[in-house]
Structure 1
């Protein structure tokens, strides 16, 4: 069995002039070397060669299609457009690789890649036909087909399809994570919209959450209900004071009921104030009293 030296260290006591300190003691041990994973080595080599062949195919088809398109446009634009023919099916292969654990999601990029490859092969063959070299055009088109077929084999080997139940579990987890990700953007949009509403309300001197009450009914508005516990408190424009200041103002005005304080805070400071926040401030004021 093969071994390799590995340097390690440990703390050991060392005494000088009667004083002991813990110092590092470095030593070397021989550890066994695992056998070479030839399967992984071969797969890595095959993947590298496939990548090299892709580069060769791109150069060949770009030269052919670029020369074909340069008949009707300037060369830089023609060769730039020619690159797109091969990049299309190469990008589809990349997406197929990302979806290698989900056959259903990998089907679309695989089919799109086959279509893009067919278009590129037709373009290469057309170039040879127009140049009077039909055989060379066919052989050149087959180069891209061989490379794509080789990559399909490599991707099939890398792909690890899941069983039906595990795939359903993965789909549910992906959907849940996608919903959470979507809510980040949605919450940001809602927060921005509420901020614009509040800013507009402050600019106009009105409250964004005031709703008219049906006539003839007792409402929670202190101005329309003289018996309301907040009737003695004169509200100011929302957003001009903090929640803490609003709680203190309510307590100083003689309001002791937590629900009444919460209503007042929502009216003059924060329409979205929570009861737990108001209760925390009330406890702080009671302790300091």
Structure 2
């Protein structure tokens, strides 16, 4: 069994003139070396070969299709468009790789990749036909086919489909996470809409807000209404929550309380919106 040497240190006592201290002493440790993982080496080599072949395919297809398109457009645009043909099916393979644990999601990019590959191979063959070199065009088209075929085998080797129950569990978790993510955007949209409505109403309001406290308001307040704490200062949201927690749900009563302990100029619409939110979370 092969071993390798590791240099480590340990604390040892060292005495000079009757005084002992702990000092570092290096020492060697021989640890076994695990056997070489040939499976991983082979997989790495195959992926490297597939990458080289893919790069060669892009180069060949771009040169061939670029020469074809160069007959009708300027050279930079022709070769830029030619690069798209192979890059599309390569991008589809990347999406297929990301969905390697979900065969249903991987099916669409796989089919799209085959369609893009067929178009790229046909374009290379057409270039050979136009140049009166049909055989060369067919051979050149097989370059992209071989690259796609090798990458398909590599993806199939790394794909790990889940069993039915585990796949259903993953789908449910993904749906719940997607729903929470969607609600973030929905709440942001609703908040923005409420703010726009409030701004529009404030701009159209031509009369001042009513006084925070009037004798008529006091007369309308029932004698048996719950006693609300009057300590402050508070924010509008805190005042609304305090009123709700004390059993006051009437919007006018809550508005009077907010203007008393939080903001004498509190907007009615703001208080009502905060009251609705407090009722939903109560």
* Normalised-by-shorter TM-score class: 0.7 to 0.9
DSSP 3-state at the match of 1:72: coil
Count residues in correspondence: 245
DSSP 3-state at the match of 2:247: helix
**Does residue 1:226 correspond to 2:220, yes or no?**
yes
Deviation at 1:259?
2.9
Partners of 1:245 and 1:174 lie apart in 2 by 36
Name stretches of at least 5 consecutive residues in structure 2 with no aligned partner. Answer: 207-215, 226-233
Partners of 2:104 and 2:180 lie apart in 1 by 23
DSSP 3-state at the match of 1:259: coil
Deviation at 1:181?
1.6
Cα displacement string for residues 121-154 of structure 1 (whole angstroms, at most 9, x for unaligned residues)? 0000000011010110000001110110111011
- 1:258 — aligned with what? 246
Cα displacement string for residues 139-191 of structure 1 (whole angstroms, at most 9, x for unaligned residues)? 00011101101110110001011111111111111111111222222222222
- 1:242 — aligned with what? 235
Give the direction of change, closer, same or farther, for the CA distance of 1:72–1:195 in structure 2 (3 Å limit): same
Give the direction of change, closer, same or farther, for the CA distance of 1:169–1:73 in structure 2 (3 Å limit): same
Cα displacement string for residues 41-80 of structure 1 (whole angstroms, at most 9, x for unaligned residues)? 1011000100100000000010000000010111111000
Partners of 2:181 and 2:248 lie apart in 1 by 37
TM value normalised by structure 2 = 0.75
Give the direction of change, closer, same or farther, for the CA distance of 1:64–1:32 in structure 2 (3 Å limit): same
Partners of 1:20 and 1:202 lie apart in 2 by 82
**Does residue 1:149 correspond to 2:121, yes or no?**
no
DSSP 3-state at the match of 2:220: coil
Question: What is the aligned-residue RMSD (CA, Å)?
Answer: 3.4
Partners of 2:24 and 2:194 lie apart in 1 by 61
- 2:132 — aligned with what? 132
Partners of 1:246 and 1:36 lie apart in 2 by 70
Q: How does 1:1-289 map to 2 (within 5 A)?
A: 1-9=1-9, 26-205=26-205, 223=217, 226-228=220-222, 242-243=235-236, 258-260=246-248, 263-264=254-255, 269=266, 271=271, 272=274
Deviation at 1:13?
6.9
Name stretches of at least 5 consecutive residues in structure 1 with no aligned partner. Answer: 207-221, 231-240, 277-289
DSSP 3-state at the match of 1:62: helix
